[in-house]
Chain A
Amino acid sequence: MALDPRDSRIGMQQELAALCNKLPTAKLAAVASEDGLLVATHEHAEPNPLDRKSAMLASLIALAHTAAKEHSLEEARWLVLGCRLGVMVVRPFGRQRRRLLLLVVGDSEKLGPALSAAKEFSVRIDAKFGQETAEASAAA
């Protein structure tokens, strides 16, 4: 039986909260759909159709894919933005439906652990929710 979309969204929020707990300098962990709709953050699980931050993620990763293809590198697997006060990591994931994980860490020295934690998260979420996360996105 498929999970109720809201249940899977709450489950994803709990996973995002656990991800943040693993990284002491994590400021934000969020999942958005590929077309820029928020699915859940580490703090809450309510989607917000007007969220521009999720839309910006979608634009960034779409441009990253386009740039990667221009250089015959196929699709982008990571996008890392090194900023003065920290690092943003965006990782597309999802077998059934593509989604985007955003991890914001307030310490640029922690890029390695952030990449590793983001990869673990996306593998675990895919295994745990699979089709259900697609339904959560569709319901958002």
Chain B
Amino acid sequence: MGPYRIVFAGPIGAGKTTAIQALSDIPPISTEVASVEAEAVGKQTTTVAFDLGQVLLENGDLVQLYGAPGQARFDFMWPMISENAIGAVILADNRRPDTIELTVEYVREFAPRITAGNCVVGVGRSDLHPKPGVDAYQDALEAEGFAIPVMEVDIRRKEHTLLLLDVLLARLEATHDGA
């Protein structure tokens, strides 16, 4: 079946490009360029259009992985990338002091564009920055009306990112079964 589309979103430096590189079965299409904000954002390159990879799941489903550019000035790309997407992985960067507010903002932005609002939050860099914990994210999302799974992940590891996809697909199946 498929191909299905899953979107990776989140602030600059959260690891969207890295996650897609780790997960994709093919060399991903990348639109990374040198960033003039490198010092401010702590990252030498940034995605200016989208990343595109694909992964063939064990059940034979082909999933296209689209990475959205993180900065708000690229928000015109977000609806294009999200069109017909069956799920969104919102990546959070636990180094940022405003990570919870940002995560809620990205969920608010992407959930309405995705089939059945099917999102999952992956919290990165929690090994070195354990606070805030998953519960704090969950509480903030629930306060905004979003019942969304939140998990700690190391996006460099394929099995962690695959787990995020599994959660998205399981939630989608549950939605269909319940309909």
Q: A residues engaging B (CB < 8 A)?
A: 33-37, 49-52, 54-56, 58-60, 62-63, 65-66, 97-98, 137-138, 140
Contact = CB atoms under 8 A, between A and B. Distances in A.
A63 B31 contact: yes
15 contacts: A34-B34, A35-B46, A36-B73, A37-B36, A37-B37, A52-B73, A55-B48, A55-B71, A55-B73, A58-B48, A59-B49, A62-B33, A62-B48, A66-B31, A137-B36
Nearest to A34: B33
- Looking at chain A's contact residues, the main secondary structure is helix
B73 A49 contact: yes
A58 B77 contact: no
A33 B74 contact: no
Contacts of A56: 76
Nearest to B46: A35
Contacts of B49: 58-60, 62-63, 66
A140 B36 contact: yes
A84 B34 CA distance: 33
A59 B77 contact: yes
Contacts of B77: 59
Nearest to A97: B34
B179 interface: no
